Homo-oligomer: A and B are copies of this chain.
């Protein structure tokens, strides 16, 4: 069963480019693991990432934006727990 990623971003804060950049990174790294990635415009400073409906990042709760390698680990842990991220894992182990 493949997976669905959702990225909600604040349009008032001009975070579309940040959200689409992260979508490019995730859809490249998890090319064979992601079934669909949905971008959802929001307001009020929202920036959240969901993997299979599990919230894995919230700008408000985690005080900022995810570093991309950290985000990839969080996504991997939900949608492809056995997938190695190569150097990312070695650097952070």
A75 within 8 Å of B (CB atoms): no
- Could you list 13 A-B pairs, sorted by A, with CB under 8 Å? A11-B31, A16-B24, A16-B27, A16-B28, A17-B24, A20-B24, A34-B41, A35-B40, A36-B38, A36-B40, A37-B38, A38-B38, A39-B39
A interface residue numbers (CB < 8 A to B):
11, 16-17, 20, 23-24, 27-28, 31, 34-41
Number of copies: 2
Task: Return chain B residues, CB-CB under 8 Å to A38.
Answer: 36-39
**Distance between Cα atoms of A37 and B11 in the complex (Å):** 14
Task: Return chain B residues, CB-CB under 8 Å to A40.
Answer: 35-36
Contact B39 A36 (CB under 8 A): yes
